Amino acid sequence: QVTHGSYIPLVQSEDRVLRKSAFESMYGTFDKFKNTCAATLSAQIKAVNFYAKARRYDSSLEAALDGTEVPVSVYKNLIEAVHDNMHYMYDYVALRKKLLGVDELHFYDLYTPVVPDADMKITFEEAKETVLKALAPMGGDYLAILKEGFENRWIDVYENEGKTSGAYSAGARVHPYVLLNHKDTLNCMFTLAHEMGHAIHSYLSNKNQPVVYSDYVIFVAEVASTCNEALLMQYLLKNTEDKKQRAYLINYFLEQFRTTLYRQTMFAEFELKINEMVAAGESLTAEGLNELYGELNKLYFGDGIVLDDEIKLEWARIPHFYYDYYVYQYATGYSAAIALSQRILKYGEPAVKDYIGFLKGGCSTDPISLLKGAGVDMATTQPINEALAMFGELVKEMEEAMAE
């Protein structure tokens, strides 16, 4: 049965017939309700634009970003920078097609691992040990908080009856609580690093800020978690000699870039365009939304993949389009995290001191200023360009590794 929860595992399958069937089943169902979905999304976007106009903002984008004190230019810089680096994604699409050995690459081929044989079994105890080693560059004070969380039951580790799925960190003032559903996989180890990044961010903000300033905004929230993931990945790549495992890790890293930086920016551009259409008095119909979404997929993935009709309906299953300019923060946060992890590894203690200052900052100033204090200027395109250049280098390394 294809459900919201089972869809991604199905399209990650090595069985191409199964992937195709799940893909067609999912979007075939959405196709039956496309006009309802379009009317619902249209109502949401009209409401957002009405409130922006009523409050005398120039656009719904300005209204949404004003709440977190982020300049409109940051949103538009992200889209511009990704457009300038689209060739790296086209290279990745070509490599994926080559490694899968298919005559045509389809959208249901994007999630299956290209190095399936090197999957790693990692127990929770092993994951904790590796994460501690990977985050050693963060210094003793950071590691002490991490160990306290590991040793004093901050974490609910395994799946249980009635327990919600996924992973989560709740930044309570006594100390953070982390929910996991650990399954002894590489992804679960990264999830541990990710959620403990959130937890330590909350811990330091709560300890160093009054209540009114202790809760940080989403724009910076994903930076602390993703920086931990980036440090973990670079530790694993540095310490993995097995060629197949190294290729598997690079593939995992590439997928993080694809799904977080490129895909979320594509979502952000789609959201911006449909808001601009409504502001100009145009109607949002299923046919119009399909056409726009298809054009964006063509732009972001290039000619190396078949533009399946089904993928044009993907807009109907993305709940974030109802979150009012939310998704761009995944891409900016990821770019900032990559830049900060590189800075920490390159400069050591001074960079760590700046970064810890950022984690202690809560929302005591605007997010751009907080990140600038940590050493990354998100008011420019530089962090995005540098992150995508790393993606390009990883694509080349992956191609060379798989050619051997």
Q: Which of 104, 151, 195, 404 is catalytic?
A: 195
**CA 292 to CA 304: how far, in whole Å?**
19
Q: Is the Cβ–Cβ distance between 45 and 284 less than 8 Å?
A: yes
What is the rounded (10 degree) CA torsion for 261, 266, 267, 272?
Answer: 120
**CA 19 to CA 391: how far, in whole Å?**
26
**CA 296 to CA 270: how far, in whole Å?**
7
Sign of torsion over alpha carbons 15, 21, 23, 25: negative
Q: What are the backbone dihedrals phi and psi of residue 111, each rounded to the nearest 5 degrees, phi first?
A: -105, -20
285, exposed or middle or buried, with CB in 10 Å at 0-12, 13-18, 19+? middle
54, exposed or middle or buried, with CB in 10 Å at 0-12, 13-18, 19+? exposed
Look up 222 and say whether it is catalytic.
Answer: no
Residue 345: closest CA among 394, 280, 390: 390
Q: Who contacts 50 (Cβ-Cβ below 8 Å, separation ≥6)? A: none
Angstrom distances, CA of residue 323 to CA of 48, 110, 131, 217, 318: 10, 26, 32, 14, 10
CB atoms within 10 A of CB 251: 21
Q: Is the Cβ–Cβ distance between 296 and 266 less than 8 Å?
A: yes
Calculate ∠ Cα 349-351-352, nearest 5°. 60
Residue 31: closest CA among 323, 319, 269, 308: 308
Q: Is the Cβ–Cβ distance between 77 and 272 less than 8 Å?
A: no
Residue 232: closest CA among 192, 203, 264: 192
**CA 233 to CA 206: how far, in whole Å?**
28
Task: Give catalytic residues, as residue numbers.
Answer: 195
